[in-house]
Structure 1
Amino acid sequence: MKKQEFMTKSLRELEALTGASYTHWMRYFNGGNSPTLKTLEKYSDTLGVPLGELCEWIVERRDTTQERLKRPHHPAETAQAG
C-alpha cells in the first residue's frame, strides 16, 4: 500500500483490510488510543507496509485529524431574507 492510499482510506476500508474495527481506527486517529506494538506489526504485515513507515503514517493522519477537529465550525447561514 502506498502512503496516499492509506491517508485517504475510509475507516470502514481500513477495517476491511486489517480486521480492526473502524472504531479502533477512529480512536487511533482522534488521539484517544494508540495501537500496541503487536497490533502495529499485524497491520504492517497485513498492509504490506514497513513498520516504521506505518507508524509515521498513523501519526501524520492523527495530526491531520486532530488539526481538522480543532478548526472552528462555521455553520451555513440558514436565515432567509424577508
Structure 2
Amino acid sequence: MKKQEFMEKSLRELEALTGASYTHWMRYFNGGNSPTLTTLEKYSDALDVPLGELCEWVAERRDTTMKRLKRSRHPAQTAQAG
C-alpha cells in the first residue's frame, strides 16, 4: 500500500484490511488511544507496509485529523488567525 492510499482509506476500509474495528482506527486518529507496537506490527503485515512507515503515516493522519477537529470546534478563532 502507498501512503496516499492509506491516508484516503475510510475507517471501514482499514477495518476490512486489518481486522481492527473502525472504532479503534477512529480513536487512533482522534487522539483517544495509541496503538501498541504489537498492534502496529499486525497492521503493518496486513497492509504490507514497513512498520516504520506505518508509524509515520498513523502519526501524520492523527495530526491532520486533530487539526481538522480543532478547526471545526473553534471556527471563529481559526478565521481570526488566518
Instruction: Give the TM bin, normalised by the shorter chain.
Output: 0.7 to 0.9
Alignment match, 1:78 = none
Alignment match, 1:57 = 57
- Give aligned pairs, total: 74
| DSSP-derived class of the 2:59 partner | helix
Query: Is there any run of 5+ residues in structure 1 with no aligned partner, and where?
Result: 75-82
- 1:18-33 pair list within 5 angstroms: 18-33=18-33
Alignment match, 2:48 = 48
RMSD in angstroms over aligned alpha carbons? 1.0
Distance 1:69 1:58 in 2: 16
Distance 2:38 2:70 in 1: 31
Query: By how many angstroms is 1:47 displaced?
Result: 0.4
Structure 1 runs of 4+ aligned residues shifted over 2 Å read none
TM-score computed with the length of structure 1 as normaliser: 0.87
- 1:8-19 pair list within 5 angstroms: 8-19=8-19
Query: Is there any run of 5+ residues in structure 2 with no aligned partner, and where?
Result: 77-82
TM-score computed with the length of structure 2 as normaliser: 0.87
| DSSP-derived class of the 1:14 partner | helix
Larger radius of gyration: 1
Structure with bigger helix share is 2
